[in-house]
């Protein structure tokens, strides 16, 4: 009888020892990993290069988004069309992000869509608030880009004037 009880104890101890070793192993692993993080090995030259490249690319994105993307040197007709596009985009996209200034839109390209058709522009003058209706000799198409936090391009839109009948 005593031998039978002894065998059960041995089996039970092996099971407990196995579970105990498992937890001891995990504890050792976590202690070793925490010791490795405390040592903080110096950055390699590749890591330093990658960090510098990320910073340079972020600076380039900021410069491109804030200074270079807005369309410049426009004729009078193109400037009128740009004003129309700004008004149209403001009217069409008037959500929380736009009102809070987190999301903004810039016209980055204006091209002639059709030389044979006349474009009709209807909008409110931003300075006076009066309605404006212009007929242009050609029809323009503007490309508009939406920026999150003024620098991250997230939306692309295309705006074309109505055809004058």
Q: What is the mean pLDDT of residues 93-100?
A: 87
Is the confidence at residue 95, as pLDDT, over 90? no
Q: What is the mean pLDDT of residues 11-17?
A: 57
Q: How much of the chain, in percent, has pLDDT values that exceed 90?
A: 22
What is the model's pLDDT at position 107?
Answer: 92
The SS3 assignment for 102 reads coil
pTM, to two decimals:
0.65
Average pLDDT, the chain: 81
How far is 67 from 58, CA to CA, in rounded Å? 14
- Residue pair 125/134 in contact (Cβ under 8 Å)? The answer is no
- Which residue from 162, 164, 155, 159 is spatially nearest to 110, judged by alpha carbons? 159
Is the confidence at residue 1, as pLDDT, over 70? no
Highest mean pLDDT (candidates 12-21, 53-62, 85-94, 152-161): 53-62
Residue ranges of alpha helices (H) inside 40-152 are: 45-63, 76-92, 96-100
How far is 123 from 76, CA to CA, in rounded Å? 16
What is the model's pLDDT at position 50?
Answer: 95
What is the model's pLDDT at position 110?
Answer: 92
């Amino acid at each position: 009888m005593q031998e039978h009880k002894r065998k059960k104890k041995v089996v039970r101890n092996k099971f407990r020892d196995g579970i105990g070793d498992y937890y001891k192993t995990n504890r050792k692993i976590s202690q070793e990993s925490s010791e490795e993080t405390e040592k903080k090995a110096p950055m390699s030259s590749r890591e330093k290069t990658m960090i510098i490249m990320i910073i340079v690319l972020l600076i380039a994105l900021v410069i491109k988004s804030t200074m270079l993307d807005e369309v410049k040197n426009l004729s009078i007709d193109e400037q009128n069309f740009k004003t129309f596009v700004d008004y149209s985009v403001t009217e069409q996209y008037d959500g929380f992000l736009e009102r809070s200034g987190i999301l903004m839109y810039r016209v980055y390209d204006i091209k002639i869509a059709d030389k044979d058709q006349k474009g009709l522009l209807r909008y409110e003058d931003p300075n006076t608030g009066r309605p404006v209706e212009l007929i242009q000799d050609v029809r323009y198409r503007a490309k508009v880009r939406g920026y999150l936090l003024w620098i991250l391009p997230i939306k692309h839109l295309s705006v074309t004037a109505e055809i004058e009948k």
